[in-house]
Amino acid sequence: MTGGVCFLPCCLAGIKRRLFVGKQILIIDDQSQLLSLMRRILEDEQYQVSILQNGKDAFSHMRALLPDLLILDLKLGNISGQEILKQLKEDAITAEIPVIIYTAAVLEAEEVVKMISSNTKLYQRVYLVHKPFELENLLTLVGQVLNEPVR
């Protein structure tokens, strides 16, 4: 040990692990089965995945975590996914986080399309997926979004 810094291989291994950790994804959905399934599939692809089943604390959780990607269900029990999206994109700290939104509700999807169309600059890097969706297609979209350069 020199000057308080450890150069032992065991310490360097920990540093190496932290350097090569996958991208951080936050998934917000009120259905635990879908959350667990998506978490497992994304972790198999070497992403770090956090899940949140309650949309009430979603915004503060996002500000604290600052994930590389948010995957968001529009139909949450206690708060609208649209409201979370609006808060996220209007906040300077979280505005650049890309978002994949999914829903089975046609009317809600149309509302989101209108919201995005009304301010494309504010809602850039927001992607809408209709349920049911193939998990393979979601994985492809996640990969594309996370590798897309920020505008």
What confidence category does residue 71 fall into, taking pLDDT thresholds of 50, 70 and 90? Answer: very high
Of 3.30.70.2740, 3.30.43.10, 3.40.50.2300, 3.40.50.300, the CATH number of 23-143 is 3.40.50.2300
pLDDT tens, residue by residue, 128-138:
998 888 889 99
Q: Where are the domains of the chain?
A: 23-143
C-alpha span between 85 and 65 (Å, rounded)? 16
Per the CB < 8 A criterion, the answer to whether 89 and 123 are in contact is yes
C-alpha span between 64 and 66 (Å, rounded)? 6
Mean pLDDT value across residues 111-119: 90
pLDDT tens, residue by residue, 82-94:
999 999 999 999 9
Tokens of 140: 């492809």
Q: Which residue has the higher pLDDT, 13 or 48?
A: 48
Q: What is the 3-state secondary structure (H, E, C) of 118-146?
A: HCCCCCCCEEEEECCCCHHHHHHHHHHHH
Tokens of 66: 């600052």
As a whole number of Å, the end-to-end CA separation of the chain is: 44
Mean pLDDT value across residues 12-25: 57
**Backbone φ/ψ region at 50: left (φ over 0), alpha (ψ -120 to 50), beta:** beta
pLDDT tens, residue by residue, 28-57:
999 999 999 999 999 999 999 999 998 888
Q: What is the pTM of this model?
A: 0.82
Residues 6+ apart with CB under 8 A from 30: 53, 54, 55, 73, 75, 76, 77
